[in-house]
Amino acid sequence: MRKYKYTKETLDVALEELQSENVVQRKKYVKFISMASRSELFGKTCDTLSVQTWFLSSDNREKLIRVLHQETEEKLLWEYLLILLMVCERYIDHGCYAKDFAKESSCVEFKQRAYEIAKQYAHHSSTIVRQMSGSIMGYMGDNDVWDIFCNVMLKKRDLLTISHITMGIRRHCTGVANGNNHFFGGTMTDNQRMDILNSLRLVYQKSSNKSIKGMCLRTIEELENTKEVANKA
């Protein structure tokens, strides 16, 4: 029988350790849970259906949210929010599950709670926390994400932050191009579109990092080429 790294048992241990007063311990175990949320589905290290059940358990979800609220370290807060996003993407909405799986109550409740938490932390003092909150909100189709992203890009222009922001923008463009009914960031208004483009141009001008410059250029081009009617005020 295959011995998986990410299982109900190993996640139970990690969840308990998140209550430690030792920040090094918390960092170790939030990383473990984060890696489980991003692990290859039905791969060699993850008992996918068992882990899915674990994440969607209301008890585990609320325990995770409680320790999130107790956390004071911004990088760990960012990691908690990333976990919420990855569970939505990979353990609820992924195309490998049954067609109507995402409509089950445990899935609907998880996404509702993730969205509530994201909105709560969207005005946090930390720019990286705001960025990940915005990413969750965008995933849920909330166009407030564009204002959040613009605000973040004024103050934070590192590779990880810009990669998440440009990823969201490009997912929006793909959704619009494909004519999807639901896509990242919902309707982007004309003003938001101009603000996003100007923010990306500013990041491009100020950055000396070739990877960041490349991401900005590709995203600017894709957004400029995306034809969208956005008359929403």
pLDDT, tens digit, for every residue of 60-99?
999 999 999 999 999 999 999 999 999 999 999 998 888 8
> Does the pLDDT value for residue 182 go beyond 70?
yes
Closest CA to 18 of 33, 35, 38, 6: 33
pLDDT digits (tens, 9 = 90+) for 150-161: 999 999 999 999
Find the Cα–Cα–Cα–Cα dihedral 107, 113, 117, 120, rounded to 10°: 140
Contact 78, 132 (CB under 8 A): yes
The reported pTM is 0.93
pLDDT for the residue numbered 143: 95
> Does the pLDDT value for residue 107 go beyond 90?
yes
pLDDT for the residue numbered 125: 97
Please return the burial class of 164, using the count of CB atoms within 10 Å of its CB with bins 0-12, 13-18 and 19+: buried
HSE-up of 148 (CA within 13 Å, CB side)? 31
> Does the pLDDT value for residue 230 go beyond 50?
no
| Average pLDDT of the segment spanning 204-232 | 85
